[in-house]
């Protein structure tokens, strides 16, 4: 499956979340990662995030898609997808 | 179609982008909006964003999906979707 992860977490945990997600997904821009994952990877990502965030204060949304969606980039692409495809 | 919009723009333009997107989409969390739009609305959103952002400095990614994707929320949902569905 293909996932897009967006997070809005306290500044104290931002770097930890970013470092964790970078091990699994492609960094798109500030607070956004995406990538193709297996079901097992997806579960590991969810479990890992739950350990890092404060569930009372932080928010992470994971969109689950069947395949990579169409995407339009306006302005500058901070980290072009072509680099990894 | 269903779109997810994520933006990473200079702080001087953040409020303008947010105010503009709020007219068309559901605010999810910091720098993320989503919603069902017609093709015409989608084109208007793209054109409107192009007018607001500095294309040399800012970045906006629009994911285009056929329908609303599955979504998991970890932690606190900043602005629950149920409020608008």
Q: What is the ipTM of this complex?
A: 0.91
Binding positions of A for Mg(2+) are 8
Count of domains forming chain B:
1
Confidence bin at A84 (pLDDT 50/70/90): low
Residues 6+ apart with CB under 8 A from B10: B54, B57, B58
Are the beta carbons of A6 and B32 separated by less than 8 Å?
yes
Task: Determine what percent of chain A is predicted with pLDDT higher than 70.
Answer: 95
A4 close to A34: Cβ distance less than 8 angstroms: yes
Distance between A81 CA and the closest CA of chain B, angstroms = 12
Question: CA of B35: how far to CAs of A7, A43, B15, B62, in Å?
Answer: 18, 26, 19, 11
- Mean pLDDT value of segment B3-10: 97
Q: What is the mean pLDDT of chain B?
A: 93
CA distance B70 to A4: 11
Q: Which residues of A48-64 are buried (b: 16+ CB within 10 A; e: fewer)?
A: ebeebbeeeebbbbbbe
Inter-CA distances, A45 with A48, B11, B70, Å = 5, 30, 16
Q: What is the pLDDT of residues A22-43, one digit of tens each?
A: 999 999 999 999 999 999 999 9
Residue B48 DSSP SS3:
helix
Size of interface A-B (CB pairs under 8 A): 130
Distance CA A76, CA A51 (A): 33
Question: Is residue A13 situated within a structural domain?
Answer: yes
Residue B79: inside a domain: no
| pLDDT at residue B43 greater than cutoff 60 | yes
Q: Is the pLDDT of residue B3 over 80?
A: yes
* Domain residue limits at B61: 2-69
Q: Is residue B82 part of a domain?
A: no
By Cβ distance, the residue of B57, B72, B77 closest to A76 is B57
Query: Is B27 part of any domain?
Result: yes
The answer as to whether B85 is a domain residue is no
Q: How many Å lie between the alpha carbon of B78 and the closest alpha carbon of chain A?
A: 7
Report if residue B81 sits inside a domain: no
pLDDT at A79: 84
Please tell me the distance from the alpha carbon of residue B83 to that of residue B85, in angstroms, as a whole number. Answer: 6
The CATH number linked to B8 is 3.30.70.240
Amino acid A82: pLDDT: 66
Question: Could you tell me if residue A24 is inside a domain?
Answer: yes
Q: Which residues of A touch B4 (CB under 8 A)?
A: 4, 63
Q: Give the per-residue pLDDT at B1.
A: 96
The backbone torsions φ and ψ at residue B57, rounded to the nearest 5 degrees and listed phi first, read -120, -35
Query: pLDDT at residue A17 above 80?
Result: yes
Within a domain: A43: yes
């Amino acid at each position: 499956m293909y996932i897009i992860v967006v997070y809005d977490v306290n500044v104290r945990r931002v770097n930890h979340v970013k470092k964790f997600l970078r091990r699994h997904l492609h960094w798109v821009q500030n607070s956004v990662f995406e990538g193709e994952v297996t079901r097992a990877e997806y579960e590991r990502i969810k479990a890992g995030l739950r350990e890092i965030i404060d569930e009372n204060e932080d928010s992470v949304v994971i969109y689950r898609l069947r395949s990579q969606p169409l995407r339009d980039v306006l302005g500058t692409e901070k980290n072009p997808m072509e680099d990894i495809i």
